[in-house]
């Protein structure tokens, strides 16, 4: 099989949607979801910035989740839409690397951020008197910087190593964006060592935080049921159930995708799962946090009232 120069040739993204009227309708639906996700996540970030009552560690972490989700969906959907509408399926070697870097950065950082949010709720509910010490603003900033830094460093290493693999097979990537597992079948060498390193990274950045989150919320739920105040119990349960919903939507498809051996994976199933954690979850997160959170709804009312009073 003829080798091709990986620095001069583009990859080909086979895409998610068929090139017909059904595909166009589905693309319009995805673009609608994209717009909702952008409005919801940018709106949540601005709301937390504008309302002083939301200037707490919990909402600072939530603002970072919204920022990550905004970057998440912006990494995949615009390129997919452009390729479909233009009829061109190519992506440059550099463009593929950039897309891969941002995707892995956000994936790893968001996993760590969700664990930080679980720790925040654990301290707030189980050790409320120690909360100002364990979750001070300076510690919250350090946690945020740590999640971004670890995710970026890890992503940079994997992106560079992936792009330096010898590609000598078809350039066609059976996906709608450049994801590391979809590039490995194009490599003309044994990649078992690399695949095991990806497996290990998945355990470190996804499975271990998920176990930590599960343990934290197990302890939190026990504390909630022991509360004497019905109002406090309901508020704590609403907050925790909201976060658990987001965690489940994020981790379940990711872990299922990355912890399966290649022999059990199929491109169609991988693309369907990727739609869930790259398109649907970023759209659902701000809806879940706004509709089930009285503080966020109250902040919306205050900010809207502030702008309306300025106009009058």
The arithmetic mean of pLDDT across residues 113-135, rounded, is: 91
| The pLDDT of residue 311 | 62
* 51-60, 211-220, 238-247: the lowest-pLDDT one: 238-247
The arithmetic mean of pLDDT across residues 78-89, rounded, is: 92
Q: What is the DSSP string of the chain?
A: -----TTTS-EEE--SS-SSHHHHHHHHHHHHHHHHHHHHHHHHHHHHHH-GGG-SHHHHHHHHHHHHHHHHHHHHHHHHHHHHHHS--EE-HHHHHHHHHHHHHHHHHHHHHHHHHHHHHHHHHH-GGGHHHHT-HHHHHHHHHHHHHHHHHHHHHHHHHHHTS-B-S--EESSSS--HHHHGGGBSS--HHHHHHHHHHHIIIIIHHHHHHHHHHHHHHHHHHT-S-HHHHHHHHHHHHHHHHHHHHHHHHHHHHHSS-GGG--HHHHHHHHHIIIIIHHHHHHHHHHHT-HHHHHHHHHHHHHHHHHH-
Q: Is the pLDDT of residue 6 over 50?
A: no
Most confident range, picked from 169-173, 197-201, 225-229, 256-260: 197-201
Q: How confident is the model at residue 98 (pLDDT cuts 50, 70, 90)?
A: very high
* Rounded percentage of the chain residues whose pLDDT exceeds 70: 94
Question: 145 exposed, middle or buried (CB, 10 Å; 0-12, 13-18, 19+)?
Answer: exposed
Q: How far apart are CA 186 and CA 172, in angstroms?
A: 8
Q: Is the pLDDT of residue 58 over 80?
A: yes
The arithmetic mean of pLDDT across residues 228-256, rounded, is: 78
Is 246 or 35 the better-scoring residue by pLDDT?
35
Taking CA atoms, 35 is separated from 41, 173, 302, in Å, by 10, 26, 24
Q: Is the pLDDT of residue 85 over 90?
A: yes
199 contacts 287 by C-beta, under 8 angstroms? no
The arithmetic mean of pLDDT across residues 65-75, rounded, is: 94
174 contacts 14 by C-beta, under 8 angstroms? yes
């Amino acid at each position: 099989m003829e080798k091709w120069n990986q620095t001069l040739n583009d990859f080909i993204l086979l895409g998610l949607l068929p090139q017909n009227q059904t595909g166009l309708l589905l693309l319009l639906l995805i673009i609608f979801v994209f717009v909702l996700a952008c409005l919801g996540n940018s709106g949540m970030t601005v709301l937390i910035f504008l309302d002083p009552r939301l200037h707490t560690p919990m909402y600072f972490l939530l603002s970072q989740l919204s920022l990550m989700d905004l970057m998440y969906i912006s990494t995949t959907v615009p390129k997919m839409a452009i390729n479909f509408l233009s009829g061109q399926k190519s992506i440059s070697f550099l463009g593929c690397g950039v897309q891969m870097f941002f995707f892995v950065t956000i994936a790893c950082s968001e996993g760590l951020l969700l664990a930080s949010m679980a720790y925040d709720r654990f301290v707030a509910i189980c050790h409320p008197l120690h909360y100002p010490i364990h979750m001070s603003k300076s510690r919250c900033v350090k946690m945020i910087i740590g999640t971004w830094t670890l995710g970026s460093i890890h992503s940079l290493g994997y992106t560079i190593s992936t792009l330096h693999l010898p590609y000598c097979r078809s350039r066609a990537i059976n996906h709608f964006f450049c994801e590391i597992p979809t590039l490995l079948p194009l490599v003309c060498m044994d990649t078992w060592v690399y695949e095991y390193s990806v497996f290990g990274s998945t355990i470190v950045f996804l499975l271990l935080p998920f176990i930590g989150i599960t343990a934290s919320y197990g302890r939190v739920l026990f504390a909630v049921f022991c509360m004497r105040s019905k109002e406090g119990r309901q508020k704590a349960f609403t907050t925790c159930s909201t976060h658990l919903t987001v965690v489940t939507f994020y981790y379940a498809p990711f872990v299922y995708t990355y912890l399966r051996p290649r022999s059990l994976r199929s491109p169609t199933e991988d693309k369907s799962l990727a739609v869930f954690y790259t398109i649907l979850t970023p759209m659902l997160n701000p809806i879940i946090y706004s509709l089930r959170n009285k503080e966020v709804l109250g902040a919306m009312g205050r900010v809207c009232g502030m702008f309306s009073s300025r106009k009058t």
